[in-house]
Amino acid sequence: MRKEHFTNHALRITNHVKDFMKQKFIFLSIITLALSACNMTLARDVTPPANYVAPTAVPTIGAVYPSNKPNIENGKIIFQEKCAPCHGDSGLGDGEQGKQLPVTVKPIGLPEVANQASPAKWYSIVTQGNIDNFMPPFASLSEQEKWDVITYAFTLHTTPEQIELGKNLFESNCANCDSQFTNLENMSAISNVELIKQIKDSFGKNFSDEELSATASYIRTLTFASESAPIVDSTPSAESTLEVSDQAEASAEAGNITGQIENRSNESFPTDLQITLRGFQHSSDPNAGTDEFVNETKPLNTDGTYSFTHELSEGQIYLIQFTLDGLNYQSQVAVVPADTNKLNIPTLVVYETTDNFSTLQIDSVEIFFDLTSQTEVQLFSVYTFTNRTDKTILINLENETVPFISFPSGASGLGYEAAQDSAIFIPSENGFAIPPSETPYGLIAFASIPRTKRIQFSMPAVLDISQATVLLPEGVTAKGDVLVDEGVQAFQDTNFQIYSAGKTPKGGYLEFTISGTPKGTTENTNLLENQNVLLGIGTLGVVLICVGIWMYLKDRSKVEIDYEDDGNDSTLDAIIALDDLHKDKKISDEAYHARRNELKNKLKRES
């Protein structure tokens, strides 16, 4: 296996596992509002029909570094106006408007999130938007204003005390090297994780983790502009990234929304097939949340086309939904650009269906072993697979198992979740469907096995598995005839002992023996300490109840929630769970706001 190919696989599962460790599980509810999969698209490899009109391209970006030093005072004002309604004043994802969104707002004010990102990455998101998360581009901001607000956002996870500590350490150990960290292009391209590595390799070899983090935060300030009067355009913009301003609404004009549903199945569409156009916009009132202002249903034209007439304003979001043969289809979203009275929704393709999953190609399986508990081992297996046929494959979940994924012998299956970079599944009445796509699908299977001195691992292959990667904590080794030792490698400051394996044929077994003790770790709380977990397949819009309900509510209107104190991971998990309970109306507003404020204050103290 080529090292580059292996490294990409290992880094991907590391990212999945680290994200999972922060959130434990993504808690989902059955969402009839299909915006939970707002980026749902079918078969990106399909050749569009002759009359297809491509949707407006996302804004392009130029140089991903500022021409002048960012002004964080100006950035703070912009953040309060443009970002805080969703991200919250402290960037914890708790803005009043964000709570109403059908997606989770990323807590950019947490060091665990901010330290992984580079300013250039956030600049790209601000410029091009992230429609999957209902974040259109910030077209109303100048290039410098974007850098101002991005740079301010990077200060949300820091404190004055931390900056002062970093300054003292920097000036004592690197007094004459300021110029190394003031190049705007270089500093915009690296994350704090990468910056910390540079510090550690140069002058901070003996620094503690806290000192390294403080020094990196201080070094960031070397790229800030000197304090000066904020410069903010006082003229109301015609567009707001997370708001539809009154000015934009006033400029709305009648427009035509068109699209096509292409039929590649062997069955004609029902003559009375109803499609629903849904339109969404963000209110100018930050407390009002997301407004669905269009919900119109009409029959599909006989040629598969459709057309709706509505007033169009820049930043509005539209999509099409319909149900056919038990599958809940949804188009990609289309965002209204500036100065237009026409909007084309991307073509949606319907294929013939089959329940024969044997044609799926499992390209790889990456297995991560967590041995932090002395009694059991937690397994995270990332399956990457493709459907290169011309049929949509139906997967039935009546038995709460994915039939082409098998848990290891003796393991307790805990559930599944869609990988973050997966192609999009289609929700169905009894499970989900996998349409044809060159884009790979990804499912993470969670399981646990008893921990013994020597762990015998044996996992049957329901289908051919092209290759496998095994990631073990440093200090733990594996032996097996099919394994190739790839050595110890570091990913995001964590060392893993890596093994690779070639093809495991259908009906065969991936087998090896694990022994040893993780290096530099002690027994701590099991990652899955609460076995009564609600597990879901992330973008399917369905819920798999694999081991019961995460929390039993005796009183739906008033509930007392207690959380164990094991650091800010647990606090963040508690906030996420609390938000889900409130959205599902399982906790009163009074109890929700009181507990959330407590958790926010606790999170700030822990950070």
Q: Are 245 and 139 in contact (CB under 8 A)?
A: no
User: Within a domain: residue 480?
Assistant: yes
- Considering the domain architecture, whether residues 590 and 461 belong to the same structural domain is answered as no
Residue 35 is assigned to a structural domain of this protein: no
Check pLDDT > 60 for residue 137. yes
Q: Per residue in 554-573, pLDDT tens? A: 222 333 333 334 445 556 66
If we measure between CA atoms, which residue out of 228, 226, 250 comes closest to residue 238?
Answer: 250
User: For residue 564, what pLDDT is reported?
Assistant: 38
Examine the domain organization and report whether 337 and 426 are in the same domain.
Answer: no
Confidence bin at 390 (pLDDT 50/70/90):
very high
Can you name the residues that pair with 454 across neighbouring β-strands? 515
Q: Is residue 99 part of a domain?
A: yes
Between 198 and 306, name the one with better pLDDT: 306
| Lowest-pLDDT range of 43-57, 125-139, 247-261 | 43-57
What is d(CA 9, CA 384) in angstroms, rounded to the nearest whole number? 10
Same domain, 385 and 523: yes
φ, ψ at 300 (rounded to 5°): -70, 140
Query: Could you tell me if 379 and 426 lie in one domain?
Result: yes
Q: 589-606 and 568-583 are packed helices; what angle lies between their axes, rounded to 10 degrees? A: 160
Domain end call among 211, 242, 273: 242
Decide which of 354, 369, 403 is a domain's last residue: 354
Helices 3-23/568-583 angle, 10° precision: 70
Average pLDDT score over residue span 538-545: 27
Q: Output the domain CATH number for residue 82.
A: 1.10.760.10
The domain tally of the chain equals 4
C-alpha 513 chain-centroid distance: 34
17-21, 189-193, 472-476: lowest mean pLDDT where? 17-21
* Residue of 492, 422, 474 whose CA lies nearest to 112: 492
101-115, 269-283, 553-567: which has the highest mean pLDDT? 269-283
Question: In the predicted model, what is the mean pLDDT of the chain?
Answer: 74
Host domain of residue 221: 64-242
Distance CA 188, CA 118 (A): 6
User: Does residue 114 surpass a pLDDT of 60?
Assistant: yes
Q: How confident is the model at residue 496 (pLDDT cuts 50, 70, 90)?
A: confident
Pick the more confident residue, 539 or 326: 326
Q: What is the mean pLDDT of residues 177-200?
A: 87
Strands 412-418 and 391-396: unpaired
| Each residue's pLDDT tens digit, 450-487 | 999 999 999 999 999 999 999 999 999 999 999 999 99
Q: How far apart are CA 206 and CA 162, in angstroms?
A: 18
| Residue 213 domain flag | yes
Indicate if 420 and 373 belong to the same structural domain: yes
Together in a domain, 204 and 76? yes
Say yes or no: 266 and 375 in one domain. Answer: no
* pTM summary value: 0.54
| Domain membership flag for residue 276 | yes
Residue ending a domain, choose from 354, 376, 402: 354
How many other C-beta atoms lie within 10 A of the C-beta of residue 307? 11
pLDDT per residue over 333-361, tens digit each?
888 888 889 999 999 999 999 999 999 99
Token pair in block for residue 384:
């990457």
* Residues 114, 14 share a domain: no
Residues 172 and 227 in one domain: yes
Residue 388 belongs to domain with CATH number: 2.60.40
Looking up residue 339, the CATH number of its domain turns out to be 2.60.40.10
Higher per-residue confidence, 232 vs 364: 364
pLDDT value of position 21:
39
Please check whether residues 350 and 413 belong to one and the same domain.
Answer: no
pLDDT value for 64: 78
User: Residue 128's pLDDT band (boundaries 50, 70, 90)?
Assistant: confident
Q: Give residue 386's pLDDT.
A: 96
- 3-state SS string over 344-412? ECCCEEEEEEECCHHHCEEEEEEEEEECCCCCEEEEEEEEEEEECCCEEEEEECCCCCCCCCCCCCCCE
pLDDT value of position 236? 35
Confidence category of residue 605, pLDDT binned at 50, 70, 90: low
Confidence of residue 20 (pLDDT cuts 50, 70, 90): very low
Same domain? 496 vs 374: yes
According to the model, what pLDDT value does residue 595 have?
67
Beta-carbon contacts of residue 378 (< 8 Å; ≥ 6 apart): 369, 370, 372, 446, 447, 448, 526, 527, 528
As a whole number, mean pLDDT of residues 134-149 equals 81
Looking at residue 364, its pLDDT comes to: 93
Cβ-Cβ contacts under 8 Å for 168 (sequence gap 6 or more): none
pLDDT at residue 229, rounded to an integer: 33
Whether residue 43 is predicted with pLDDT greater than 50 in this model: the reply is: no
Segment 401-446, tens digit of pLDDT = 899 999 999 998 888 888 767 888 898 888 899 999 988 998 888 8
Query: Are residues 391 and 491 both part of a single domain?
Result: yes
Average of per-residue pLDDT across 288-311 = 86
User: DSSP string covering 41-94, please?
Assistant: -S-TTSPPPTT--PPPPPPP---SS-SS---HHHHHHHIIIIIHHHH-TTSSS-
